[in-house]
Structure formats: structure tokens, C-alpha cells
Amino acid sequence: MSSLTGQKVGLAVGLLIAVPWFFGIFSCYLIGRAANTVAKRRMFGTVLFVSTGVCILGSAWPAPTTSRSSD
């Protein structure tokens, strides 16, 4: 992550890495609360598992390579 930001490993990089974890914890709380309120746990679980699988597949997909022609 420090190579992406161009900074040394420190507080700024640590906070940047913590952002997805913060949203994950916040989402777990809100989605869990909504699933209990609506009582549609199976639908919530299915949607979350499928979306997680799609995101993992997308993150593992290789990026397209760009080739520049030198004329």
C-alpha cells in the first residue's frame, strides 16, 4: 500500500488500510440489524454471499495489459 501512496509505512498508510475494515464492521452491524428487523435472513445472506463472490472474482481477474507501439 505504501508503494501506491508513495509514502513510507506510517500512520497515513495504516489509516488507509483501516478504511475497508471500518466499512466492513459498520456494514455487518447495519445489515445484521436490517436482516433481523425484516426477518428475511436467507435473502440477505444469499445476496451478500453472491456479491462477495463476485467481488473476490473481480479482484483476482487480471488487469488488461496495454501495449504501446513505438513508431
Name the 3-class secondary structure at 17.
Answer: helix
Q: Are the C-beta atoms of residues 7 and 14 closer than 8 Å to each other?
A: no
* Whole-number Å distance between alpha carbons of 48 and 24: 12
Residue 71 has pLDDT above 60, yes or no: no
Q: Are the C-beta atoms of residues 31 and 48 closer than 8 Å to each other?
A: yes
pLDDT recorded at residue 53: 85
The cell for 44 is 440477505
Q: What is the mean pLDDT of residues 47-63?
A: 82
For the chain, the distance separating the N- and C-terminal CA atoms, rounded to the nearest angstrom, is: 35
pLDDT recorded at residue 1: 58
Q: What is the mean pLDDT of residues 40-63?
A: 82
pLDDT recorded at residue 5: 64
User: What's the pLDDT tens digit per position in 14-45?
Assistant: 787 788 888 888 887 888 788 877 667 888 88
